[in-house]
Amino acid sequence: MVRRIFPWLLLPMGITSLYLAFVVAPPEATMADRQRIMYFHVASAWNAYLSFLVVFVASIAYLRTGARRWDRTAFCSAELGVFFTSIALVSGMVWGRSVWGKWWVWEPRLTTTLLLWFIYVGYLLLRATGEGDERRARMAAGLGVIGFVDVPIVHMSVKWWNSYHPYVIGLTKVDMVPMMVVALVAAVLTFTVFYVYMLDLRLHMEHLRERTQILKENLLQGGMR
C-alpha cells in the first residue's frame, strides 16, 4: 500500500515544500538566504531522531516477542537513521560555516548528533560482524535500547560541559515569521513521509533477501542429498 501511494504523495509534497522554502518564505532578517538551509537541516535531524526512536521501540519489541519482523525494522531504521544523521551533520556544518564562520562548533545539539552517528554506526558494525542470526539480533537489540537511553544523558552532559565555556556561541535566534514556520512544517512533513516510504521499501527488500537466502539454502541441501 505504502509502496504504491506514497511516491505520488511525495512528488507534490516535496515540490511544494521546496517552493515554500525557496520562493515563498522571506529571507531572514540577519542571516538572509543562508537561513534557508535550516528547513531541510531540521527536517533531516527530525528524521534521524525519529529513526532512532523506531530502533529503540522495535528493539524492545524484539526482545519481548522474538519476532523477526521487529529485528528487521530496527535494522532498516538504523540504516536510515545513519543516513539522515549524515545529512543533518553535513548541512549543520555548512550552516555553521556560513553563520558562525566555523565548520564545527561544540554546540550541544550538533555534538549530540555527531555522537548519535557514532553510536548507530557502531550498531551497524555490530550487526555486520555478529555471529548467529538470532544471537546477533538479540545483541543488536540490547544496543538499540541502551544507545537510545544514552541520548538525553549525552545531550544534558554536553550542554552542561559547554556552559562552563566563556566563549559559548549564543544560538543565533532565528526570527521566524509565520511563512517560515509554514515552510518548516512542510519540510518536516515531507521528510517524515519520505522516511516511512524509504523504511517500507528497505524492509521489503530485506524481507526478499531473507526469502532468497532460505530458498538458496533449501536448494543447496537438495543438491547435496
Partner 1 sequence: MAPLPLSTLKWLFFGYAVIWAGIVLFLMNMGRRQERLERQLDDLERSLKR
Partner 2 sequence: MLAKSMAIVWKDVVVEFRAKEILAAVLIFAALVALIFGFAFDPVEHDLTGIFPGLMWVAYFFAGTLGLNRSFITEKQNDALQGLVLAPGDRSAIFLGKFLANWLFMTLVELILTPVFFALLNVSFKGGLLLAAVLALATVGFTAAGTFLSGLAANTRASEVLLPILLFPLLVPVVIGAVRATAGAMAGDAATAVAWLRALAAYDAVFVVVPFLVFEYLLEG
Q: How far apart are CA 36 and CA 138, in angstroms?
A: 42
Taking CB under 8 A as the rule, does residue 147 contact partner 2? Answer: yes
Q: Which does 118 bind (CB under 5 to 8 A by kind): partner 1, partner 2, none?
A: partner 2
Q: How far apart are CA 219 and CA 216, in angstroms?
A: 5
Are the beta carbons of 200 and 6 closer than 8 angstroms?
A: yes
Q: Is 173 left (phi over 0), alpha (psi -120 to 50) or beta?
A: beta
Q: What are phi and psi of 44, to 5 degrees?
A: -65, -45
Taking CB under 8 A as the rule, does residue 115 contact partner 2? Answer: yes
Of the pair 64, 211, the CB lying nearest partner 1 is at 211
Taking CB under 8 A as the rule, does residue 179 contact partner 1? Answer: no
Q: Which does 158 bind (CB under 5 to 8 A by kind): partner 1, partner 2, none?
A: partner 2
Q: How many CB atoms lie within 10 A of CB 61?
A: 17
First to last CA, the chain: 41
Of the pair 58, 188, the CB lying nearest partner 2 is at 58
Residues in the chain: 225
Q: Applying CB under 8 A, which of residues 67, 153, 171, 219 lies at the interface with partner 1?
A: 219
Stretch in the footprint of partner 2 (CB under 8 A) among 18-26, 42-50, 111-119, 165-173: 111-119
x-or-dash string of contact with partner 2, 160-199, rule CB under 8 A: xx--x-----------------------------------
The position carrying cell 515531507 is 190
Report in angstroms the alpha-carbon separations of 107 from 99, 158, 172, 214.
14, 8, 12, 48
Taking CB under 8 A as the rule, does residue 22 contact partner 1? Answer: yes
Residue 165 C-beta-side C-alpha neighbours within 13 Å: 13
Q: Applying CB under 8 A, which of residues 32, 90, 149, 179 lies at the interface with partner 1?
A: 32
Q: How many CB atoms lie within 10 A of CB 151?
A: 18
> Which 2-61 positions form the footprint of partner 2 (CB under 8 A)?
none
Contact footprint for partner 1 (CB under 8 A): 3, 7, 10-11, 14-15, 18-19, 21-23, 27, 31-34, 197-198, 201, 204-205, 208, 211-212, 215, 218-219
Task: Point out which residues bind partner 2 (CB under 8 A).
Answer: 63-64, 115, 118-119, 121-122, 125-126, 129-132, 134-136, 138-139, 141-143, 145-147, 149-150, 153-154, 156-158, 160-161, 164
